[in-house]
Amino acid sequence: MAGHTHIVGAGLAGLSAAINLLKAGRDVSLYEASGHAGGRCRSYHDATLDHRIDNGNHLVLSGNRAVMGYLKEIGASDSLTGPTAPEFPFYDLESAEQWTVALDAGFLPRAMLSKGGRVPGARRLDYLKAFHLAFAGKEATVAQCLGPDNALYRRFWEPLAVAVLNTDGDEAAASLLWPVIFETMGRGGSACRPLTAKVGLSESFVDPALAVLKDRGAEVSFNNRLRKLTIDSNRVTALTLGQDTVNLGEGDSIILAVPPSAAAELVPGLGAPDDFRAIVNGHFRLAQKTEGFSFLGLIGGVAQWLFVRGDIVSVTVSAADDLVEQPTEVIAGRLWADVAKALNLGVAPMPTWRIVKEKRATFAQTPSQVGRRPPARTALNNLFLAGDWTDTGLPATIEGTLRSGVMASDADLENLN
């Protein structure tokens, strides 16, 4: 296949595009501004904890078909782990109530048929509200469709929506939650198993992809920031990377897989999401190790999800724009209080900790920001966009990100044919 695709940004969107293009026999170069691949989804050694950690806890679901396809393509299908059953355990930090949302027979049937299968306080009819999402208008929020004054909303839908959309339910776009429900719960329990990386995010999603790129002859360069696109009539004709200029030939193209603010600076007139939400993760190193991996949804505190892997307990707070402004010591203390309560540790002193603040974890997934997502194709013939902020129809998650890479690279390939 004549020509070359230059991919800018080695987050999961750029990696996904590269893998798809290499599979189709296209020559690929990948340029990354930082010293590592993975972007917002990666692992690194933390000196304070003396442990390898992920930048943030990431959960996917067994029904995420782009995730499963990508992992298969890079030879990492067996790198995820999770509970054998599609179950989501919850704990109320105020009332100490516990419950599990079990999705083994699909979401609605089991929960509606037996009282024991329902979230405490939830009525049968509350479950039917899920279908409001299917008919939600573009401007509708999750709270307008599913809540806000019922136990099912407070104890399941709201925590789920905040985790998936990284946006509070009263402003989160309902239109983005429905495809997730449809593609997972709509397909029954086998599509709803929560999964996480067995070892770390990089070991699952990044390192095996880089190995495939190397194996198939792709050029990958780090510390190589794209500074400028030279545009002539309706094509990009050159890239300025650091001090170097790469001239583009007839059959050459570019996939810009950078965050929206970087893309908007590089592409004149590009409309893109410009409002963001934070995620805060707290990691605590315990004295003893536990086998395997477990997680727990938390209600009524600051921490929202708790993950235990080996001797590290990690907690996540999404839509954390207020919390992220607090000093890390204060955040650590507040999160540890929730961890100690949830794990019944009594007044255990706070162990070694690390707080990771991601101020721009994702774009704010509100109806107005969703309306700003651009498609993969641009007004320029040989320029395509990828990233969790582009218009995939899905939330800004790993699944949406990987699909964005496939959509941009498919558009590139279509153009060549």
Ligand X SMILES: Cc1cc2nc3c(=O)[nH]c(=O)nc-3n(C[C@H](O)[C@H](O)[C@H](O)COP(=O)(O)OP(=O)(O)OC[C@H]3O[C@@H](n4cnc5c(N)ncnc54)[C@H](O)[C@@H]3O)c2cc1C
SS3 214: helix
Site for ligand X in 30-69 (CB under 6 A): 31-34, 39-41, 55-56, 58-60
Residue 61 bridge partners (DSSP): 194
74 binds ligand X (CB under 6 A): no
Helices (H), 114-206: 124-128, 142-146, 151-152, 158-165, 174-183, 201
Q: Is 161 left (phi over 0), alpha (psi -120 to 50) or beta?
A: alpha
12 binds ligand X (CB under 6 A): yes
Cβ(402)–Cβ(67) below 8 Å:
yes
Terminal Cα distance for the chain, rounded = 10
Indicate the DSSP class of residue 302.
S
315 binds ligand X (CB under 6 A): no
Quick one: which of 6, 7, 11, 283 contacts ligand X (CB under 6 A)? 11
Residue 91 bridge partners (DSSP): 98, 298
Quick one: which of 43, 175, 401, 409 contacts ligand X (CB under 6 A)? 401
Residue 284 bridge partners (DSSP): 313, 353
179 binds ligand X (CB under 6 A): no
Quick one: which of 133, 161, 320, 398 contacts ligand X (CB under 6 A)? 398
Quick one: which of 110, 123, 198, 225 contacts ligand X (CB under 6 A)? 225
Question: Nearest to residue 37, comparing CAs of 177, 202, 280?
Answer: 202
State the nearest-atom distance from the C-beta of 10 to ligand X, in Å.
Answer: 5
81 binds ligand X (CB under 6 A): no
In Å, how far from its chain's centre is CA 251?
A: 33
**Interface map 84-123 toward ligand X (x if CB under 6 A):** ----------------------------------------
Cβ(30)–Cβ(213) below 8 Å:
yes
Q: Which stretch binds ligand X (CB under 6 A): 6-14, 17-25, 208-216, 341-349?
A: 6-14
Site for ligand X in 273-312 (CB under 6 A): 279, 281
State the nearest-atom distance from the C-beta of 390 to ligand X, in Å.
Answer: 8
Question: Which spans of this chain sit near ligand X (rule: CB under 6 A)?
Answer: 8-14, 31-34, 39-41, 55-56, 58-60, 225-226, 257-259, 262, 279, 281, 358, 361-362, 387-388, 396-399, 401
